[in-house]
Amino acid sequence: MSDDEPDTDQTFHHAERFSRARAAQAVALLEDYAEMIGDLMAEAGEARVADIAARMGVTHPTATKAVARLKREGLAVSRPYRGVFLTEAGQTLADHVRARHRIVVDLLIAVGVPTETAELDAEGLEHHVSTQTLAAFKQYLDTSRRGD
């Protein structure tokens, strides 16, 4: 360092940012599982562990564990050997996540990312898009659609 207390402020900002990113990551998986279960419920009326596992690209036990986490968080309910269902809160979360996903994909496409790539990247990106950024995306899509 070049000064006496050269990085106290900046250091704090950095740490803040990384903490936020870590926190976002913590809920990302739950969001994905909730959205997936929402999709399956919409398509088939119920979500079975095997389907969840297949779509998430994980093994059955991993899906089961994830469901347990969802239940613990009050986002899903299930009885042993029965399908999994979202609670009201879970459904709300799923809807929110799905909407956000669409906006992120649309924005990527709008700035010139190929559709296929946009879908791929959005899966990872979406969890780190804050409310403010999402709002900015929405507005950009609106005006750009009008403007074109």
Partner DNA sequence: GCGGAAATATAGCCTTGGCTTCATTGCTGT
Partner DNA sequence: ACAGCAATGAAGCCAAGGCTATATTTCCGC
Binding positions for its own copies, rule: CB under 8 A: 1-2, 6-7, 10-11, 14-21, 24-25, 32, 36, 43-44, 51, 54-58, 107-108, 111-114, 117-121, 123-125, 127-130, 132-133, 136-137, 139-140
Shortest spacing between CB 106 and its own copies, in angstroms: 12
Shortest spacing between CB 135 and DNA, in angstroms: 26
Q: How far apart are the C-alpha atoms of 133 and 140, rounded to whole Å?
A: 10
Site for DNA in 53-82 (CB under 7 A): 56-62, 64-67, 69, 78, 80-82
Q: How far apart are the C-alpha atoms of 145 and 139, rounded to whole Å?
A: 10
List for the chain the helix, strand, coil content (%; round to 5): 75, 5, 20
Backbone angles phi and psi of 76, in degrees to 5: -145, 160
Residue 139 touches DNA, criterion: CB under 7 A: no
Report, in angstroms and rounded to the nearest whole number, the Rg of the chain calculated over CA atoms.
Answer: 19
CA-based angle 41:42:45, to the nearest 5? Answer: 50
Shortest spacing between CB 134 and DNA, in angstroms: 21
Q: Which residues bind DNA (CB under 7 A)?
A: 22, 26, 28-30, 48-51, 56-62, 64-67, 69, 78, 80-83
